[in-house]
Structure 1
Amino acid sequence: MIGVGTAAPATSYTQQEVLDAFAITDPRIRSVFMNSAIERRHLVLPPEDEKGVRISEPQGDLLDKHKRSAVEMGAEALRACLKRAGAELSDLRHLCCVTSTGFLTPGLSALLIKELGIDRHCSRSDIVGMGCNAGLNALNVVAGWSAAHPGELAVVLCAEACSSAYAMDGTMRTAVVNSLFGDGAAAVALISQGGRGHGGSAGGEGPGILKFASCIIPEAVDAMRYEWDRDQGRFSFYLDPLIPYVVGAHAEIVVDRLLEGTGLRRSDIRHWLVHSGGKKVIDAVTVNLGLTRHDVRHTSGVLRDHGNVSSGSFLFSYERLLDEGVTRPGEYGVLMTMGPGSTIETALVRW
């Protein structure tokens, strides 16, 4: 992992400003917003009506917004990532784009190749609809591509325009979603020096990827859903209130599987980069893995400053860790994401 870059819309709002923008007065819903551990989120809110209230956007407008925002944020994050990696757009050989907040055909990868003038021979892939865990699913696939193409540059780009997936109907169901997600894009560059396995860093400030482990929870397959809301006439995301505890209860299982055969214990992991899924998710994972507040400081910081930016959240935390300048050669880290399925994805890395 030789470079990382992030981007977000220019407009950001406090939780109070979002409540005011949609004239939400229900004390139960306001409590959900104000107790979320989120201070600000970057969002592209709908236009105002003649009374200054934000109007509800039809699904067609939401899809247009997703396409526009994903391309703009994605391009900015990709450029920032390549700059940090000391690379140019002309060096890119594979682009994998991840998004779950809108459907695009042709996919985001094709749109960005055209928008940025990337070489037409750059191979590409798109991972759509896998949700907040998808960044690590993509990293797993592209790490395999990199191992098969030593010396060639690949990028995983997560672009999530979450404000294109909102349904503002004043219900508690949508309040949980509307209080949590923010817009953002994040990219990470990969390169392999050898064609055998994923181990070993290719140089620079980032770690080498050693292995991955997954855990799907079939009995919770309906706990996180993005589906058509017939009353609203648009897609709407649903989160089961119990999902933080379900995820937390399975965190040990997948981490133990990740470390199996490595000779490592959880106490040997110096850096933890966990998806900023929400305050209760972070608390549940922290308790079940025996982590400290310091271990998840970047996870909590990203939630505070951006909300849940879906598949790219862990890369926002990764960027903050690198900026902190505390990693040392030989240290191990665990990346963890969770999302619909219900699924927990993990990766073991070493600096």
Structure 2
Amino acid sequence: MTRAASPPGAASLEQPAPAGKNTTGTARIAGVGTATSEQSYSQAEVLDLFAITDPKVRSVFLNSAIERRFLAVPPRGADGTPRAEAQGELLAKHKRLALDMGARAVRACLADSGLDLADIDYLCCVTTTGFLTPGLSAHLMRAMGMRSGTSRVDVVGMGCNAGLNALNATAGWAVANPGKVAVMLCTEACSAAYVIDSTLRTAVVNSLFGDGAAAVALVADPPDAAHGPPVVAPDPGSPRILGFASHLISEAIDAMRYDWDDGQGKFSFYLDPNVPYVVGANAEQVVDRLLGAAGLRRSDVRHWLVHSGGKKVIDAVRINLGLTRHDVRHTTGVLRDYGNLSSSSFLFSYERLLTERAARPGDHGVLMTMGPGSTIETALVQW
């Protein structure tokens, strides 16, 4: 099989090749690994920790379909409650957490793939919860002792959808370098992106996000043309990435955004209340475009791994796509146990699917992420 060339932004999908010829190869997901920050809290524990008594705010937290989240709470002040952290402290927290979680996720991914640190040829790091120069990839390479010749790229500030944007680029690198190992890491220290105040605007955000990191290793099937032996031969049982499709909802560009809060002296994330309905209303067209390019229908898809954006977002996507609650069980389970993990959420769901051992050879799966832009990103995989 070979992957036909597609115009920029279009889904890139496999097309039949001449018998016995594989001219470009296909990227496969060789392994996955996840990590979180150290301490988890129930929603009630978070409310009590920050001494939040407003009944409206408490209702937002307690009706979120989230039971626990991993968070790195601020140091306690003189009154015993966590004190406000300045923007500089939050950036330092982001660096510390993102590197720690990221390194552990990469190691878990390599162990799952049967690979070593020295096997990594390309590293793509994704984060939205802080900013570093040099980028997180450079800091991670030094901290983990990666080879200095490893190619790297950083995807910063794209939001919850960014994992699939980066997976697209990483898969492209893997196909262009068959047999070599490409690792994509999403590491989100959401504890470093909080503003603590009494408004409902921040209550929605503060009730939702948690700390988490996830990494995947990709290796492309070597083409038939002989260019020397591949560095790593991919496991034929791992899912192939068949293509991608994107959809930018430009009229909702301000629905999810970071604003600078002069009163707080830090960035504050904003979520428009209509986000679930906007995302839900646009989910069908991008999914149908993804599947249509492969000659598939929604009924042909056995596995749906949707970003754990929040209860209303998941419900809106599920209803608009005609999915069952069972179809999104991994998504709702990740939301329940971790909250919204931003760009890494869908890989936590993917890991749960693998643990369940429900995927069979020939099964198709759709990965879907949603985030600022407003954007819906999708990918089609096959076991």
Q: For 2:220, what is the secondary structure of its paired residue? A: coil
**Correspondence for 1:306:** 338
Give the TM-score of the pair, scaled to structure 2: 0.89
For 1:207-226, list aligned pairs within 5 A: 207-226=239-258
For 1:259-270, list aligned pairs within 5 A: 259-270=291-302
Cα distance in 2 between the residues matched to 1:261 and 1:74 = 35
**Correspondence for 2:55:** 27
Q: For 2:107, what is the secondary structure of its paired residue? A: helix
Aligned partner of 1:206 among 238, 242, 255: 238
Cα distance in 2 between the residues matched to 1:226 and 1:161 = 15
User: Structure 1 residues 30, 205: closer, same or farther in 2, change over 3 A?
Assistant: farther
Aligned partner of 2:358 among 313, 323, 326: 326
Unaligned runs of 5+ residues in structure 1 are none
| Structure 1 residues 67-108: Cα deviation after superposition (integer angstroms, max 9, x where no partner) | 000000000000000000000000000000000000011111
For 1:1-351, list aligned pairs within 5 A: 1-194=29-222, 202-203=234-235, 205-351=237-383
Aligned residues: 347
Q: For 2:210, what is the secondary structure of its paired residue? A: coil
Shift of 1:205: 4.6
Q: Is the 2:73–2:82 contact (alpha carbons within 8 Å) kept by the matching residues of 1?
A: yes
Q: Is the 1:223–1:243 contact (alpha carbons within 8 Å) kept by the matching residues of 2?
A: yes
Cα distance in 2 between the residues matched to 1:170 and 1:97 = 34
Shift of 1:237: 0.4
Cα distance in 1 between the residues matched to 2:295 and 2:163 = 27
Unaligned runs of 5+ residues in structure 2 are 1-28, 225-232
Q: For 1:334, what is the secondary structure of its paired residue? A: strand
User: Structure 1 residues 82, 250: closer, same or farther in 2, change over 3 A?
Assistant: same
Q: Which runs of 4+ in 1 moved over 6 A?
A: none
Shift of 1:195: 5.3
> Partner letter of residue 47 of structure 1?
P
Percent of aligned pairs with the same residue? 68
Q: Is the 1:202–1:208 contact (alpha carbons within 8 Å) kept by the matching residues of 2?
A: no
> Partner letter of residue 219 of structure 1?
E
Shift of 1:11: 0.5
Give the TM-score of the pair, scaled to structure 1: 0.97
Larger Rg: 2
> Partner letter of residue 203 of structure 2?
A
Cα distance in 1 between the residues matched to 2:234 and 2:204 = 41
User: Structure 1 residues 112, 195: closer, same or farther in 2, change over 3 A?
Assistant: farther
For the aligned residues, what is the CA RMSD?
Answer: 1.1
Shift of 1:202: 3.3
Cα distance in 2 between the residues matched to 1:321 and 1:119 = 32
**Correspondence for 2:11:** none
Shift of 1:221: 0.1
Cα distance in 2 between the residues matched to 1:258 and 1:107 = 32
Cα distance in 2 between the residues matched to 1:274 and 1:103 = 26
